[in-house]
Amino acid sequence: MKIAVYPGSFDPITLGHLDIIKRGSEMFDKLVVVVSVNTAKSPLFSPDERVKMIREATADLPNVEIDCFEGLIIDYCRQNNIKILLRGLRAITDFEYELQISQTNRAFSHNEVDTVFLTTSLEYAYLSSSTVREFASFHGDISRCVTPYVAQKVYEKYGYEQQSVKGE
Ligand code: ADP
């Protein structure tokens, strides 16, 4: 059985992430989306909240599982006997970082864990969780970037209702 892990912060999950998850789920028998817990960062959403939003967004994908992990993703892979990481690539700027991290993961896992890349669908190429957060913090309309459920959760975090979004 081919199992892959798609790790990330997902703070929050965007339609760009979801596109990678859907396409990845068609390539592997099982895809585990792993929310990486990084205590050094101060995320907008708690790991549990991020897991809940991903679960809601992927409810129609039966071979997608969600998990949460604090530590090195190669340790997660070793513990669960998984050898493939899935990552998304948006731009050249992503490539440099992703190349370095994929080579590090391969070397540090004694060549056990390889990374597979999917390039972004063009309509999501500009999307990132950080722009979603920034836009929403100024009451911007994020309905083209995230699912309706996620949009509602983001607006709630910033203490306002969907109705007060600009341009609606
Ligand atoms: P990280 O904090 O590890 O960068 P992210 O949650 O930002 O995690 O992203 C997880 C993965 O999804 C990364 O491989 C990233 O390049 C990819 N990704 C993020 N946004 C998009 C997008 N709009 N289209 C395709 N891939 C994306």
pLDDT score, position 87: 98
Answer yes or no: are the C-beta atoms of 114 and 145 closer than 8 Å: no
At residue 76, what are phi and psi to the nearest 5 degrees? -60, -45
Residue 3 is given by DSSP the state E
Q: Whose CA is nearest to atom 12 of ligand 1?
A: 88
What average pLDDT is seen over the chain?
94
Active site positions, annotated: 17, 41, 90, 129
Q: Whose CA is nearest to atom 15 of ligand 1?
A: 88
Residue 28 is given by DSSP the state S
CATH number of the 3-121 domain: 3.40.50.620
Q: How far apart are the first and last CA of the chain?
A: 46
Distance 86 CA to ligand 1 centre (A): 10
Distance between CA atoms of 50 and 55, rounded to whole angstroms?
9
What pLDDT tens digit does each residue of the chain (168 aa) get?
Answer: 999 999 999 999 999 999 999 999 999 999 999 999 987 789 999 999 999 999 999 999 999 999 999 999 999 999 999 999 999 999 888 899 999 999 999 999 999 999 999 999 999 999 999 999 999 999 999 999 999 999 999 999 998 877 677 665
Distance 128 CA to ligand 1 centre (A): 7
pLDDT score, position 165: 74
pLDDT score, position 160: 81
Q: Whose CA is nearest to atom 2 of ligand 1?
A: 9
Element containing residue 6 per DSSP (H, E): strand 3-8
**Residue 101: exposed, middle, or buried by beta-carbon count in 10 A (0-12, 13-18, 19+)?**
middle
Residue 127 CB–ligand 1 contact under 6 Å: yes
DSSP states along 95-163: HHHHHHHHHHHHHHTTT--EEEEEEPPGGGTT--HHHHHHHHHTT---TTTS-HHHHHHHHHHTT--GG
Residue 15 CB–ligand 1 contact under 6 Å: no
Ordered by start, the domain boundaries in the chain are 3-121
pTM attached to this predicted model:
0.94
